[in-house]
Chains A and B, each alone.
Chain A
Amino acid sequence: GVDCGADSRMCCRQEFFVDFKEIGWEDWIIQPEGYHMNYCAGLCPLHMAGIPGLAASFHTAVLNRIKAASAAAAVDSCCVPTQRRPLSLLYYDRDSNIVKTDIPDMIVDSCGCT
């Protein structure tokens, strides 16, 4: 997958870090210090469909040019997560117990076109 740059327009992963201190949650969340709430954004024209991110081989690029020339090129596909991992949290619940849990699929590692 590809990380978004300042002026990326094609499908890429936008990094977004939530600092728990900034939102006043550092008193009940012991670990970690924040949450990487990355998300996918950008265009997925049909000739890009089905490849993970923009990194494509020469063969795929030629195939894409052929697809792009076809009439159906106007239909887009979607920019979605292609790899995700759990968010491990260590926090206090309202009875002052310490709870550790791994919330599945909370952090997006890479994006691609459907």
Chain B
Amino acid sequence: AATGERCPACGVAALAPGAQRDALLALAKRSILAKLRLPARPSVPQLPSRGARLTALRTVRAQRSDAAAAIPGMLRDGRVPPRSGPGLQEYEILSFAEPGSSTSHRARLHFRFSQEVAGSTEILQATLYLFWAARGRGAQPVTVRLLQPDPAGPNTTVLASETRLEVPRPGWSTLDVGAAVRSLFGHETPRLTVELEVPEDWGSPLPSDRGDSRWPFVVARAQARTPHRVHRR
């Protein structure tokens, strides 16, 4: 405004350069937060360990290239074309386990999903990754229970499903948790609880340190819900 310059297109007095920059930076922040459906920038309480992050990101990349090999018409950058509604915004979510109550051979893990994403997307796929260290000889039976928040009362859970895994050797094993996470996305607090139960003589089913790169995680793929359209004739 000081320079008396006017916008050539609409004639409004041009902003001073500093004020214009601040206005554009504020616009960029508003625009990104609005598109991510976030009320404000997230304050990240506790970052997952670097090892766990790298392991999970490598897994997602490997999963994507496997999917590329499996699905014809794969997009160039490795994204799987959405099954329904091309052009809908897609999300890939890596959720790292929060340790819950545990005993010598049983452990609970919690996976939280943010309300912003849960409230505006639908789950296409969700996989739980668990690492088993070397234990005894031969295949070992492990029970994995998926628990969900009980609508009847806070901090109580109900059993959603129970799976017995035969762990043949040390390494990663996966479990499809798509149905459990999908039904969570309608809840007030979208939190998946996983209970692991191993044979008594195994010891804890979890790595000793949360910073371990073999810490359990869930990889979920979600897609923005198609906007609800009302057709009137």
Point out residues on A near B: beta carbons under 8 Å.
Answer: 9, 16, 18, 22-23, 25, 27-28, 35, 37, 41-44, 76, 79, 87, 89, 91-104, 106
Contact = CB atoms under 8 A, between A and B. Distances in A.
B8 A43 contact: yes
Contacts of A35: 28, 32
Measured as residues with beta carbon below 8 angstroms from the partner, the interface class of chain B is: 35 or more
15 contacts: A23-B25, A28-B41, A28-B42, A35-B28, A43-B8, A89-B36, A93-B38, A93-B114, A95-B113, A98-B57, A98-B94, A99-B92, A99-B94, A101-B91, A103-B32
Given A28-B41, A104-B89, A97 B96 contact: yes
Given A18-B25, A96-B48, A100-B93, 12 more contacts: A9-B8, A22-B25, A23-B25, A28-B42, A37-B31, A79-B9, A94-B43, A96-B44, A98-B56, A99-B114, A101-B89, A102-B89
Contacts, number: 100
Contacts of A106: 31-32, 35
A103 B9 contact: no
Contacts of B136: none
A29 to B, nearest CB: 8
B112 A95 contact: yes
A96 B32 contact: no
Interface in B20-61: 24-25, 27-29, 31-32, 35-36, 38, 41-48, 53, 56-57, 60
B44 A101 contact: no
Contacts of A18: 24-25, 28
A107 to B, nearest CB: 11
List 6 tightest A-B contacts by C-beta distance, closest first: A94-B42, A98-B94, A95-B112, A93-B114, A18-B28, A100-B92
Contacts of A42: 8-9
